[in-house]
A and B are shown apart, each in its own frame.
Chain A
Amino acid sequence: MALRSAQGDGPISSRWDGGAEKADFNNKKKKKVAEIYQALNSDPIDVAALRRMAISEGGLLTDEIRRKVWPRLLNVNTSDPPPLLGKDLRQMSKDYQQVLLDVRRSLRRFPPGMPDEQREGLQEELIDIILLVLERNPQLHYYQGYHDIVVTFLLVVGEKLTTSLVEKLSTHHLRDFMEPTMDNTRHILNYLMPIIDQVNPELHDFMQSAEVGTIFALSWLITWFGHVLSDFRHVVRLYDFFLACHPLMPIYFAAVIVLYREQEVLDCDCDMASVHHLLSQIPQDLPYETLISRAGDLFVQFPPSELAREAAAQQEATRTAASTFKDFELVSAQQRPDMVLRQRFRELLRPEERTKDVLTKPRTNRFVKLAVMGLTVALGAAALAVVKSALEWAPKFQLQLFP
C-alpha cells in the first residue's frame, strides 16, 4: 500500500486543504485563532497548546500570530533587549565574504513585488544578523543555506526579534548543521533511507540500487525547505511545524515527500542521475497539510530511537542536536535543568533496553495512518517519545557525558 493511496481516507477529506466549504474554513480558523490567544494569555503561557497549534492544520495561520508564538516555541523572552551589533563586525568576521556572496544573490527569497530599495535594506540587515549570531557563538560555523533560514525569520518577525530567535534556533535545532564539518548533517541525512525503508521497502530498494544517495535532500534539511519552496506561505507553514517539533522532524518530512512521489520515482530510470534529478526538483503543489500529518505519524510510529541503529550503520553515530532536544523541552517546560542529567544517569544504568533488534522488521509496507492519534496529537506523542528515548539514539553521547 502506498502512502498516496491513503490520501483522502478518513478525516483528511474534511481538512482545510481538502476542499472544505469556505464558511467551515473560516469558522475553524476563527476557533483556532481564539484557542491560540487563549494559550498565549494563560498564566503561565500554555506552550504545549501552542506547539499543538503550530503542528495542526493551518499551523499558526498569520504572521501576526507567528510573531507572538515563535518566540514562545523557542523559549525566547521578547522583552529582553536584542543583542547589539558590534561596529567592526564586517571587518572582523571570517565569514563575512561568504555571507555577503550568499545574501546578495538570494533575491528570490524576497516577495516578488518588493521595491529594490527595501529588499536591499533587508539584505543588509540579514548580513548583520548572521554575523552577529556567529560572533556571539564562535562554536557555530556558517553554511550556505543558513541565510535561507534567517531570511524567513527576518521577513516574519522583523530585525529586532530575529537575532534572538535565530540565535536560539542555531544553538539548538540547527546546531548540527553548524559544526566545523558536515559530518553530523550527513548523519542526519542517514535517517532518510531507513524511514523510507520502514514504510515502503520497494521504493527504498529501488533508490538504493540507483545509488541516488541523499544529497538531493540536503538543501531541504539545512534550510528547512526555505531554499526550495517558492511560495513563502508554504515555507512559514513548515517553520511552524518544525519549530514545534523534534530537530529530526525535517528529515521525516523529507522522507514523506519522497514516499508521496513513489510512483514518479519508480517510473524513473534506475540510475543516480535520473532519480537525483527527479527528487531534487520539488513539486510546488504538494499537499502540505497531509504531508505534515504523515510526517508526524511516521515520527510517532518509527521514532529516531528505532531507526538509530540503521542510520548509524550507514555512518557512525555522533552527538547531534536531537540529543539535547530533551533539555530544550524540559527547560521550556520550566523544569529543573539537572533533571536531565539525573534522568540520563538513570537510563544509563539500563543499557540492556537498547539492545532491541530493529533489523528484523518485516519487509512489508508498515505505514499506518494514525487516525486517532493523528496530527494534533503527534506533537504530544512525539515530545513523549523524545523524552523517553532521545538518549538511545546517540549512544556515544552518553559516553562523552559519563566517561
Chain B
Amino acid sequence: MAQPILGHGSLQPASAAGLASLELDSSLDQYVQICIFKIIVIGNSKVGKTCLTFRFCGGTFPDKTEATIGVDFREKTVEIEGEKIKVQVWDTAGQERFRKSMVEHYYRNVHAVVFVYDVTKMTSFTNLKMWIQECNGHAVPPLVPKVLVGNKCDLREQIQVPSNLALKFADAHNMLLFETSAKDPKESQNVESIFMCLACRLKAQKSLLYRDADRQQGKVQKLEFPREANSKTSCPC
C-alpha cells in the first residue's frame, strides 16, 4: 500500500483547534517569520518511531537504531507556501514504564501527535487505544491534530493489520491514516508528507503561534532566521 489513506471527516478537528485561543500578543508578529511546530511521536516498542523521525528529519533510513531511552529530539526546517516552519519531532521510548513518569514533560504544548503502529504486529495496533488514553491523560487538548501511521508496509507478506480496519479506527478517532514504510526509499516521500501534512494543517490554523504566546517575551530574540531550508515542498494536502 504505497499511498497515504486519508480518512474522511478527519480534517474537521484540526481546523477547529486554532479557534481555541485567539488572544494574540502583538509581539508575536515576529513568529510569523519562523513558526515552531512541535510533534510528539508515540507507539509501541519497535514499531519504527525512531526510523520514521530519522527518515523525515535526516532523509535516510538508519540501519542500526537502538531502543530509545526516554525522549530523543530531532528537527527539520521546511518551507510551506514560502513560509519557513521549524518542525520539532520528539521521539519517545515505547516501553510502557517510561510513559507515565518520564514522558509527560514532553506532551506539554505539543501541536500534534503522531501515533505509530506496525502493520505486521496486531498488538501494536490494538494497543493504540491505550496510547490514545495515555495522550488524553497528559492533558493534550482533544482538538490537537492527531495522525495514525501504520509503518513497515514494505513487509507485504507479513501484514496483520488490514487497511480497512485501520481506516475505521482512524475515522472513529478523527485521525488521518497513513500507511508507509520508513525503510523503503520509494516510500520516503510519504513519510515526508505525513509531517508536511501536519505542518500545513497547523500553518493553516496558526495555532502554533497562539500556543507559544504564553512563552516569555525574552524568547522573541531567538527568532533567528533558519540557516537553511532543508526542504521546499508545496502543501501535500
A268 nearest CB neighbor, chain B only: B222
Report yes or no: B69 in contact with A227, Cβ–Cβ below 8 A. Answer: yes
Contact A270 B105 (CB under 8 A): no
Verify A270–B67 contact, CB threshold 8 A.
Answer: no
> CB distance B97 to A145 under 8 Å?
no
Establish whether residues A186 and B102, one from each chain, have CB atoms under 8 Å apart when the complex forms.
Answer: yes
Known: A144-B67, A215-B71. A182 touches B222 (CB 8 A): no
On whether the beta carbons of A223 and B73 are closer than 8 Å, the reply is no
Beta-carbon contacts under 8 Å, B179-232 to A:
216, 218-219, 222
Known: A181-B101, A223-B69. A98 touches B219 (CB 8 A): no
A213 within 8 A of B: yes
**A145: contacting residue among B67, B100, B218, B222, CB under 8 A:** B67
> Which stretch (A83-91, A100-108, A348-356) binds chain B?
A100-108
Interface with B: A118-126, A271-279, A323-331, which one? A271-279
Check if B101 sits within 8 Å of A219, measured CB to CB: no
**Closest residue of chain A to B96, judged by CB?**
A98
Quick one: closest A residue to B93, CB to CB?
A: A144
A186 touches B66 (CB 8 A): no
Evaluate whether A186 and B101 lie within 8 angstroms (CB atoms) in the complex, with A102-B67, A273-B73 already known. Answer: yes
CA distance A277 to B57 in the complex (A): 14
Measured between C-beta atoms, what is the minimum distance from B16 to chain A in Å? 26
Q: Cβ of A106: which chain B residues have Cβ within 8 Å of it?
A: 66-67
Q: Is the CB of B45 within 8 A of A98?
A: yes
**Could you mark each residue 66-88 of chain B with 1 if its beta carbon is under 8 Å from any beta carbon of chain A, else 0?**
11111111010000000000001
Q: Looking at chain B's contact residues, is the secondary structure mostly helix, strand, loop, or mixed?
A: mixed
* Contact assessment for A213 and B97 in the assembled complex, using a CB-CB cutoff below 8 Å: no
A244 in contact (CB, < 8 A): no
Chain B residues with CB under 8 A of A209: 216
Residues of chain A within 8 A (CB-CB) of B68 are 144
**Minimum distance in angstroms from A245 CB to a CB of chain B:** 22
Alpha-carbon distance between A108 and B64 when the two chains are bound, in angstroms: 7
Instruction: Tell me the nearest residue of chain A to B109, going by C-beta.
Output: A272
Question: In the complex, are the beta carbons of A143 and B218 less than 8 A apart?
Answer: no
State A218–B67 Cα separation when bound (angstroms). 13
Q: Is A183 an interface residue (CB 8 A)?
A: yes
Contacts of B111 in A (CB 8 A): none
CB distance from A137 to the nearest CB of B (A): 16
- Set B64, B95, B100: member contacting A98, Cβ < 8 A: B95
| Given A105-B65, A107-B64: A271 in contact with B101 (beta carbons within 8 A) | no
CB of A28 closer than 8 Å to a CB of B: no
B91-120: which residues lie under 8 A (CB-CB) from chain A? 93-95, 97-98, 100-103, 105-106
State whether the Cβ of B46 lies closer than 8 Å to any Cβ in chain A. Answer: yes
B97 in contact with A105 (CB, 8 Å): no
The answer, yes or no, to whether A141 is at the interface (CB within 8 Å) is yes
Give the distance in Å from the alpha carbon of A222 to the alpha carbon of B67 in the complex: 13
Q: Are B100 and A181 in contact (CB under 8 A)?
A: yes
Task: Compute how far the CA of A101 lies from the CA of B68 in the bound complex, rounded to whole angstroms.
Answer: 12
Taking a contact as CB atoms under 8 Å apart, the answer to whether B97 and A141 are in contact is yes
| Interface status of A332 (Cβ within 8 A of chain B) | no
* Residues in chain B near residue A219, CB distance under 8 A: 69-70
Contact A215 B70 (CB under 8 A): yes
Q: For A216, give the chain B residue with the smallest CB separation.
A: B70
Contacts of A144 in B (CB 8 A): 45, 67-69, 93-95, 98
Digit string of A166-186 for contact with B (CB within 8 Å is 1, else 0)?
000000000000001111011
A181, B46: Cβ atoms closer than 8 Å: no
Complex contact B95–A105 (CB within 8 A): no
Whether A218 lies near B65 (C-beta < 8 A) is no
Q: Does A280 have its Cβ within 8 Å of any Cβ on chain B?
A: yes
Which residues of A have CB within 8 Å of B216?
A: 209
Q: Name the CB-closest residue of B to A180.
A: B97
> Is the pair B218, A218 in contact by a Cβ cutoff of 8 Å?
no
Contact at B219–A271, with CB atoms within 8 Å? yes
**A205 at interface by CB-CB < 8 Å:** no
Do residues A273 and B88 form an inter-chain contact, with CB atoms below 8 A? yes
A141 CA / B96 CA spacing, docked (Å): 11
**Are A182's CB and B98's CB within 8 A?**
yes
CA distance A393 to B110 in the complex (A): 36
Which B-chain residue is minimally distant from A184 (CB atoms)? B101
The answer for the CA separation of A273 and B46 in the assembled complex, in Å, is 24
Whether, in the assembled complex, A269 has its beta carbon less than 8 Å from a beta carbon of chain B, the answer is: yes
A180 to B95, CA, bound (A): 12
Query: CA separation between A213 and B106, bound complex, in Å?
Result: 9
> In the complex the two chains form, is B66's CB within 8 Å of A105's CB?
yes
CB atoms of A181 and B67 under 8 A apart: no
Known pairs A98-B95, A182-B100; A215 contacts B105 (CB<8 A) = yes
A253 to chain B, nearest CB (A): 17
Q: How far is the CA of A181 from the CA of B102 in the complex (A)?
A: 10
CB <8 Å contact, A215 and B106: yes
> Hey, which bits of chain A sit against chain B, CB under 8 A?
98, 101-102, 105-108, 141, 143-145, 147, 180-183, 185-186, 209, 213, 215-216, 218-219, 222-223, 227, 269-271, 273, 276-277, 280
Instruction: Give 27 A-B contacts (CB < 8 Å), ordered by A residue.
Output: A102-B45, A102-B67, A105-B65, A105-B66, A106-B67, A107-B66, A144-B69, A144-B94, A144-B98, A182-B98, A182-B100, A182-B101, A182-B102, A186-B102, A209-B216, A213-B105, A215-B103, A216-B70, A218-B69, A218-B102, A269-B219, A269-B222, A270-B219, A270-B222, A273-B73, A277-B73, A280-B72
Q: A106-B67, A216-B70, A219-B70 are in contact. List 16 more A-B contacts (CB 8 A).
A: A98-B95, A105-B65, A107-B66, A141-B97, A143-B95, A180-B97, A182-B97, A182-B100, A182-B101, A182-B102, A213-B105, A215-B103, A222-B69, A227-B69, A276-B71, A280-B73
